[in-house]
Amino acid sequence: MDIKTYLARFNWDEVKERIYAVNTEDVKVVLCKKKLSVDDFLVLLSPAAACFLEEMALMSQHITQNRFGKNIQLFMPLYLSNECQNICTYCGFSLDNKIKRKTLSHGEIVIEALTLKKMGIDHVLLVTGEANSTVHIDYFLKAIALLKSYFNTISIEVQPLEEEEYKLLYEAGVYSVLVYQETYHREVYKKYHLKGKKTNFDYRLATSDRIGRARIHKIGVGVLLGLEDWRVDSFYNALHIDYLQKMYWQSKYAVSFPRLRPAEGEFVPNFILSDSNLLQLICAYRIWNPELDISISTRESELFRNHVVSLGATTMSAASKTNPGGYAVDLQSLEQFEISDERSVEDFVAMITAKGYECVVKDWDTIYKGVKQ
């Protein structure tokens, strides 16, 4: 079975009806369970479960500390390019935006790397737009070869690639690959993705299978929160994770929560996710799936991030720049989105430490799992 067939068993409207029909008794039953199914996750996403947020937060904290200890893995995004051949109506890098395009040269990649290294960073997430003619597999392989001597862990968030290309990334030492479906609602997806390869919903959906078959160690998935009803989209995302865990059990899984905000650019999200909604979502994921890596970016506010450190997060970025060359080479190039938490790495680490947590710079999994160094 492939992911398309797996998800086709579910009807969007029926899922939505089920979520909104959950009552407090259903939530109490799920909160007493030792092992949860995806259907239980659906219950924890419901408006009815919002009344149990405090209880859910305590459970999430307990489960996370049991599984991961009091540790937060630190990473920083390294934007290599803002070139993109797609039109996505919500993104600053969209092809129809008349902005100065930039792709870092090899020399510039090294300058950015040295700057991050000086900040004590050992895990980078390479990010680009989706421009196959300039940022392609050869460009990525060269960038990884350059960066390997500076960083212990390299993750990548670029356009969907072919299985053979993911195998090359694996061979090159890439630890994790992130690809977000944005929304699992096919018709709504069409409204936001107007031009380019990304218009192909099914090709994007099947990407995580290609990543899994290439035996990448960690696979990151997620939805862009704000395009559609976050509860239904998140249920589909959990189905996706459930499917992947069964098919590619040797890989680890991560979920991120890119949240659209009304203040960002001119794009107005269709659905607003409040801070307490987002916390409920994070706790629901953790209670359902204790093994999941839960990643929180600097899109979120200082206050929210301070709280979530001890309530389910396992991986966080700090002092991020979302423009190519943003750390040293070209401070003014266009950002993909505005960050909210602007603290320095030192200030972020100090906050983590003050909470009794440790900021882990090195991901030991890369060594235990034999990722090529």
Q: Which residues bind ligand SF4 (CB under 6 A)?
A: 84, 86, 88, 91, 93-94, 129-130, 198
The 10 Å Cβ neighbour count of residue 300 is 23
Task: Give me the sign of the Cα torsion angle 325, 326, 331, 332.
Answer: positive
Cβ distance to ligand SF4 smaller for residue 111 or 334: 334
Cβ distance to ligand SF4 smaller for residue 40 or 130: 130
Cβ distance to ligand SF4 smaller for residue 158 or 349: 158
Cβ distance to ligand SF4 smaller for residue 60 or 317: 317
The length of the chain, given as a count of residues:
373
User: For residues 314 and 72, is the Cβ–Cβ distance under 8 A?
Assistant: yes
What one-character DSSP code corresponds to residue 195? E
Q: What is the nearest approach in angstroms of ligand SF4 to the Cβ of residue 224?
A: 8
- Please give the Cα distance from 63 to 284 (Å, whole number): 11
Q: What is the nearest approach in angstroms of ligand SF4 to the Cβ of residue 232?
A: 21
Q: What is the nearest approach in angstroms of ligand SF4 to the Cβ of residue 299?
A: 14
Q: What is the nearest approach in angstroms of ligand SF4 to the Cβ of residue 49?
A: 31
Cβ distance to ligand SF4 smaller for residue 44 or 88: 88
Q: What is the nearest approach in angstroms of ligand SF4 to the Cβ of residue 161?
A: 13
- Please give the Cα distance from 210 to 205 (Å, whole number): 10
If phi over 0 gives left and psi between -120 and 50 gives alpha, with beta otherwise, what is residue 359? beta
Pick from 255, 317, 302: which is nearest to 283 by CA? 255
Q: What is the nearest approach in angstroms of ligand SF4 to the Cβ of residue 222?
A: 13
- Please give the Cα distance from 121 to 140 (Å, whole number): 20
- Please give the Cα distance from 359 to 366 (Å, whole number): 17
User: For residues 296 and 308, is the Cβ–Cβ distance under 8 A?
Assistant: yes
- Please give the Cα distance from 93 to 99 (Å, whole number): 8
User: Residues with Cβ < 8 Å from 188, sequence gap 6 or more?
Assistant: 227, 228
Tokens read off for 159: 């356009």
Q: What is the nearest approach in angstroms of ligand SF4 to the Cβ of residue 193?
A: 7
Cβ distance to ligand SF4 smaller for residue 93 or 175: 93
Q: What is the nearest approach in angstroms of ligand SF4 to the Cβ of residue 90?
A: 7
Cβ distance to ligand SF4 smaller for residue 64 or 207: 207
Q: What is the nearest approach in angstroms of ligand SF4 to the Cβ of residue 327?
A: 19
Cβ distance to ligand SF4 smaller for residue 192 or 288: 192
User: Residues with Cβ < 8 Å from 343, sequence gap 6 or more?
Assistant: 302, 318, 319, 351
Cβ distance to ligand SF4 smaller for residue 63 or 88: 88
Phi, psi (degrees; rounded to nearest 5) at 65:
-65, -35
